[in-house]
Amino acid sequence: MSQNKKDETKKEAPKSENFMDLQTNTLTDLFGSDLSGTPDGKQLNFLELLEQSDLPEEQKKEWRNYYYLQSKELTQKQKDSLSLALHKKMQKAMINNN
C-alpha cells in the first residue's frame, strides 16, 4: 500500500537538463516531431531536431557547439545568460526567415 503512495507522488524527472532539449521537447509535444502542427506523441531532443532541419551544415555545426556548451557544467547564472543569448539568436533567425 505504501508503495502505491510513493509511485503516485513520484514525479518523473526530465530526460535531460539541457535547456535546448527541454525547449525542443515542448515544441515537439505541441507541434509534432516534424513541427507540422499535428502532435504525434514523439519527443525529440535538440540534436535530433537539428539533424531533421534544412539548415546548412555550417549552421548545424554552430548550433551543435551551442548545445554542447550549454550541456557543460555551468552555474545557473551562466546557463541563464547563455539561454538569453540563444533566445535572442533564435528570434533574429526567425525574423530573417520571414
Q: Note the pLDDT tens digit of each residue in 80-97.
A: 787 788 778 777 776 776
Higher-confidence position of 58 and 85: 58
Residues 6+ apart with CB under 8 A from 66: 20, 82, 86
- The C-alpha cell at 11 is 514525479
- The C-alpha cell at 59 is 549552421
Domain map (residue ranges) of the chain: 14-97
Question: Residue 12: pLDDT band by 50, 70, 90 thresholds?
Answer: very low
Question: Residue 58: pLDDT band by 50, 70, 90 thresholds?
Answer: very high
Mean pLDDT across the stretch 56-81?
Answer: 82
Question: Residue 6: pLDDT band by 50, 70, 90 thresholds?
Answer: very low
